[in-house]
Amino acid sequence: MALALVAGRDYPNTYREFVEMFPDNPACVSYLMRLRWPEGFICPACKTCSTPWNESRGRIACPACRHQTSITTGTIFEKTRTALTTWFEAAWHVTTAKNGMSAKTLERTLGVSYRVAWTMLQRFRVTMVNVERKPLLGEVEVDETLIGGVQQGGKRGRGVSKSVVVIAVEIKQPKGFGRVRMRHVSDASGDSLLPFIRDVVVPNAVILTDGWGGYNGLPELGYTRKATVLASSGDPAHVSMPGVHRVASLLKRWILGTHQGAIVPAHLQSYLEEFTFRFNRRTSRSRGLVFRRLLEQAVVTKPVTETDVTHGYDWHISEN
């Protein structure tokens, strides 16, 4: 059994506690050490459990084999030139602000360059997908939506195309929604929709869809499909898929509001991951616990390359 986490010691509950807990880089390092090695330091080279030697510049050495490492090696913080206190502050804003923060707002708030703000956000978004590993259960609504205004070339109205996003939402009885998952797909064919469902919904679940033929292969994958076929008039998502419709409208509002619609298709999936992470924690009793959870994952998430940050992360690798 895990011991109960205590606010003010294991996670900050308020911004005041945050500032008290993380006054400098050594405080951030020791927090990450506790998250990465809760049972004590384990040498990545020889797997010996021991108290490491502290070398200069935040490096630590294994007393058994002398292997040198650092808390950031092999994590999303690897090779960063940004202070850990800045990373922690970004993590705090991303997890505690109701709608998160755009790179532009983070740039102004932290007094860092846009590039640094963007890099931190992108790496945290890769971290977020690793938190969402548990497949959806029970009754799950699935439908596609079009995300418009995604810019291509930056000119509003010109060359603007719509991107297809498929959304899955757990439906609770008697009412309400559970968790969501979403994926930017190239089209609404079965080849795009079915692998998504297979990746994010537990086998044998009940999938609620409209009458679209792209979902015809569901029974072959072991799912029970309940299709609602509507008369040709009206917006089918609105009538038959209330969960997906609700989530899609929140997503669009977030993209237009927090991010002013300025999303290129190559990065759309990373925004979907951030939205999903926040939506799935909307009832969490403490934002500070969400902050801790993000950093807990950050130290076990593999490094993200500069190419991923610049041109878009290859999400399909991480989906298994």
Which residues are near Zn ion by CB under 5 A? 43, 45-46, 48, 62, 64-65, 67
What values do phi and psi take at 180, rounded to 5?
Answer: -125, 160
Q: Which is nearer to Zn ion, 53 or 114 (CB)?
A: 53
Q: What is the closest distance, in whole angstroms, from the C-beta atom of residue 210 to Zn ion in the complex?
A: 57
Which residue number, 60 or 309, has a Cβ lying nearer to Zn ion? 60
Measured from the CB atom, is 45 or 266 closer to Zn ion? Answer: 45
Closest approach, Cβ 41 to Zn ion, in A, equals 9
CB of 64 to Zn ion, least distance (A): 5
Shortest spacing between CB 59 and Zn ion, in angstroms: 14
| CB nearer Zn ion, residue 19 or residue 45 | 45
Of 65 and 202, the one with the shorter C-beta distance to Zn ion is: 65
Smallest distance, Å, CB 166 to Zn ion? Answer: 46
What three-state secondary structure class fits 97? Answer: coil
CA angle 12, 41, 290 (to 5 degrees): 25
What is the pairing mode between strands 68-70 and 53-54?
unpaired
How many CB atoms are located within 10 Å of the residue 112 CB? 20
In this structure, how many other beta carbons lie within 10 angstroms of the beta carbon of residue 78?
Answer: 14
Terminal-residue alpha carbon distance, the chain: 29
Q: What distances in angstroms separate CA 152 from CA 109, 174, 275, one per listed residue? A: 28, 43, 22
Q: Locate all alpha helices (DSSP H) within 84-158, ordered by sequence.
A: 84-96, 103-110, 114-131
Closer residue to Zn ion (CB): 48 or 73: 48
Report the nearest approach of Zn ion to the CB of residue 71 (Å): 15
Secondary structure class of 269 (helix, strand, coil): helix
Residue 7, strand partner residues: 11
